Each structure stands twice: as C-alpha cells, then as structure tokens.
Copies of this chain bind each other. A is one copy, B any other.
C-alpha cells in the first residue's frame, strides 16, 4: 500500500493531483523521475555512486540506499512513470524532527542553462544561500503528543534571515513545548543531538573531511537532512540523530577539483551548530555553578531547615 510521506518537509508533495514521492510500509521511498534532464541526472548519479568503489563505507552511510527503479502509477494521475526506489529515511522514526538544509553559496553551475543559472542566482541572493553558504529549505520540529509538529510554511522558510536561521537551529534542539513562537528556546537537547561522539556535529565533520579531498562529484542544490526523534532523546536513548544527503538532480563530475562550494557551505553550517553547542555547554556549566551555589547556601543554612 503506497501513501504520501507524512514527514516530507521540502519539495513537491504527492497531494492535490501533484506529482510527488510516495512510500510503502517496507521502508521504501519512491521518487518519480521527472521528464526533463533532472530525472535522468539523478538516476545517473545513484547508479554511478552505488558502484563507485572510491566512496568509503563510512561516507556511503550518509546517502539513502538505492534499490533501483520501478514503474509506478504517478501521484498526479498521469499514468505509469519510472520512480527511483530509495531508502525511506524517516521510516524508523515515529515523530521525527527534520531539517532540510540546502548546502552551498551557489545552487547553479557553469554547465547549466542560462535560464536556470539566472533563476538560481536570484533565489540564492534572496535567501541566505549567498550570505550563509546554505539555506533551510524546510523543517518540522516535534513539540509534544498534544500539539504535534511546528512546521512553518514554505513562504516563511524561504524568507528566513541569518537571525531566523540561528534561532531555528536552536529551536531544533530545544525541549520547550511551544517551539514555534518561542524566542528564547532552551537548547537543552543540544549536547545529545548536536554533540557527542555520534551526534550531528561529528557526522558533519566526517562529511567535511571527505569533501576536503573528494574530487569525484560536485553536489549542486543538494541538501543535508538532519533528523532525530525528540521522544527517544527524552527517554535517554543516544545515537539517535542522523545526517543524510539528498537530492542529486544537479550533481556533476568533479574533474579533479574539490566541491569547494559545498565544502564552504558545510563549514558554515558546522560553525553555526558548534556555536549553539558551546553556548549550551556554557549555560549548563553556569546552571551547574548556580545549582552548586544554591546547594552551598542550603548547606550553610542547614540549621534553619
């Protein structure tokens, strides 16, 4: 039984007669191949990538598993159409907080058509792509069983400023119940989600090390997907946060040059994440300090209790 993915945060959705991806109950994500060259390029990437022995396993795990292609009835009612069969990245998550971050200070590339370049350039300048080296393309943050997700509208996400991005990256790892309107989120989950040896920061650093050297692919308009289950974190489970790379319709050959555009943007994102992590560490040290002062006070005044 195929259905519309519940946790899709960016891209066209398979609703209201639109063409979009569908999922099954077995952990597969079916992405329709577009008629223009985007479809053939993404398929070519997955084929090349899956068989490329130069890609080490610890890097391969950042990419969705590719199972081939399959003809399926398209969600827009236009009949059968080939779909990429990919791993459904949200399959193992019950209520995942997800952020789609398009990496690079440039989404266009010299080989593209002039129309495409101008369209991208305009959007890159309007969003944080040029200024920050990345832009948030979509997100959902789990609040609670009662209120569900905070999922700002596409228009709102597209108009994010640098300050909005900073705040959203803080909200993403906060436990406050009403996260959307909160201007001062607590970042209490930062040490577990962003930090630690299996956290988001370590995963981004691992990717960075690969991008400093790899000259196989240039990933234009590609996203880093960050996801985790807030409920699992609150239950004390570790290693729950994941980094994945998605959207490869604009990948071109590297031709012995590193992907300096992706790398620069990735380093910028890393800096944002690490600053939240260090400020949350500082505030927890402060909290500990205040806590121990309080204890100290209590001890000194123990006679009064």
Contact B162 A255 (CB under 8 A): yes
Stretch at the interface among A33-41, A189-197, A259-267: A259-267
Residues of the B chain whose Cβ atoms lie less than 8 Å from the Cβ of A170: none
Residues of the B chain whose Cβ atoms lie less than 8 Å from the Cβ of A131: 110, 257
Per-residue interface assignment for chain A, residues 212 to 232, with 1 indicating a CB less than 8 Å from any chain B CB and 0 otherwise: 110100000000000000000
In the assembled complex, how far is the CB of residue A301 from the closest CB belonging to chain B, in whole angstroms? 43
Per-residue interface assignment for chain A, residues 163 to 206, with 1 indicating a CB less than 8 Å from any chain B CB and 0 otherwise: 00010000000000000000000000000000000000000000
Contact B258 A263 (CB under 8 A): no
In the assembled complex, how far is the CB of residue A190 from the closest CB belonging to chain B, in whole angstroms? 17
Contacts A110-B125, A162-B255: A261 and B213 contacting too (C-beta < 8 A)?
A: no
Residue A21 at the chain B interface, CB threshold 8 Å? no
Residue A271 at the chain B interface, CB threshold 8 Å? yes
Contacts A106-B105, A110-B125: A133 and B271 contacting too (C-beta < 8 A)?
A: no
- Tell me the A135-178 residues at the B interface (CB within 8 Å): 162, 166
Residues of the B chain whose Cβ atoms lie less than 8 Å from the Cβ of A268: 257-258, 260
In whole angstroms, what is the CA distance A162 to B258 when docked? 12
In whole angstroms, what is the CA distance A264 to B265 when docked? 8
Nearest B residue to A132 via CB reads: B257
Contacts A131-B257, A260-B105, A263-B264: A271 and B125 contacting too (C-beta < 8 A)?
A: no
Residues of the B chain whose Cβ atoms lie less than 8 Å from the Cβ of A215: 271
- Tell me the A238-267 residues at the B interface (CB within 8 Å): 255-258, 260-261, 263-265, 267
In the assembled complex, how far is the CB of residue A116 from the closest CB belonging to chain B, in whole angstroms? 14
Nearest B residue to A166 via CB reads: B256
In the assembled complex, how far is the CB of residue A43 from the closest CB belonging to chain B, in whole angstroms? 25
Binding site for B on A (CB under 8 A): 105-106, 110, 121, 125, 130-133, 162, 166, 212-213, 215, 255-258, 260-261, 263-265, 267-268, 270-271, 275
The 15 listed contacts between A and B (C-beta, < 8 Å) are A105-B106, A105-B260, A105-B261, A106-B106, A106-B130, A110-B130, A132-B257, A133-B257, A162-B256, A166-B256, A212-B267, A212-B270, A213-B271, A256-B275, A258-B267
